[in-house]
């Protein structure tokens, strides 16, 4: 790497946050930080890879055995959620995709987005996040892929426990969709 290309961690993170959080394009960010679009893209990619690695250590299943204390102490909720470990749903996150891929990432609302599968425990902590799916991808397809591939490290709930899911997910053992 050329010494003239050195960029501070804070500056790289700033570029990443502007691109992702404020939907600014590489040209606008390049003008703001006085760097080329190529350099902006390299630093944004580096931050993304670092955050991905960090996510593997920060986002993990909590070590809760049995019923969550809030549920156990609440007679109104206990009968309904006594074996509940968390809730799973997807969310759309706006992204900047290359023009050749924009149709694949265009969701049902017409926005260019990524479909992200998330699992939270009762304390509202993320215990699993699965990214990199186009906005056109259906929730069930992402869910089944997360279950199927070993490298995704999706952990099933222990015997007798379950995750709450929405009606877009398949009705299979250990995953409870709403009853209608």
Query: What whole-number distance in Å separates Cα of residue 154 and Cα of residue 160?
Result: 17
pLDDT reported for residue 180? 57
Query: What whole-number distance in Å separates Cα of residue 2 and Cα of residue 103?
Result: 37
* Encoded tokens for 146: 């997360």
Cα dihedral 143→126→128→144 (10° resolution): -10
Query: What whole-number distance in Å separates Cα of residue 51 and Cα of residue 45?
Result: 10
Query: What are the Cα distances from residue 30, in Å, to 1, 15, 94, 97, 99?
Result: 19, 9, 20, 17, 19
Query: What are the Cα distances from residue 135, in Å, to 8, 19, 45, 120?
Result: 33, 18, 20, 21
100: CB partners within 8 A, 6+ apart: none
Q: What is the DSSP letter of 53?
A: H
Give pTM, 2 decimals.
0.66
pLDDT for 81-100, tens place per residue? 888 888 898 888 877 777 88
pLDDT reported for residue 90? 86
pLDDT for 125-139, tens place per residue? 888 888 878 888 888
Residues 174-178 have a mean pLDDT of 87
Residue 134 contacts residue 98 (beta carbons within 8 Å): no
Longest dimension (CA), the chain: 64
Q: Domain boundaries in the chain? A: 3-58, 69-176
Reported as a pLDDT band with limits 50, 70 and 90, residue 165 is: very high
Give SS3 for 80. helix
């Amino acid at each position: 790497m050329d010494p003239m290309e050195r960029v501070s961690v804070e500056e790289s993170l700033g570029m990443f946050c502007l691109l992702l959080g404020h939907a600014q394009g590489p040209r606008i960010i390049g003008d703001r930080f006085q760097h080329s679009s190529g350099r902006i893209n390299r630093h944004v990619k580096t931050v993304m890879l670092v955050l991905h690695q960090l996510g593997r250590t920060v986002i993990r299943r909590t070590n809760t055995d049995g019923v969550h204390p809030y549920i156990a102490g609440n007679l109104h909720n206990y009968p309904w959620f006594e074996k509940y470990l968390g809730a799973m749903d997807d969310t759309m996150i706006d992204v900047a995709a290359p023009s050749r891929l924009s149709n694949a990432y265009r969701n049902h609302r017409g926005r260019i987005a990524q479909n992200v599968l998330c699992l939270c425990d009762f304390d509202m902590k993320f215990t699993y996040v699965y990214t990199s799916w186009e906005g056109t991808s259906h929730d069930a397809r992402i869910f089944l892929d997360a279950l199927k591939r070993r490298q995704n490290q999706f952990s099933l709930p222990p015997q007798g426990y379950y995750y709450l899911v929405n009606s877009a997910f398949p009705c299979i053992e250990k995953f409870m969709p709403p009853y209608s």
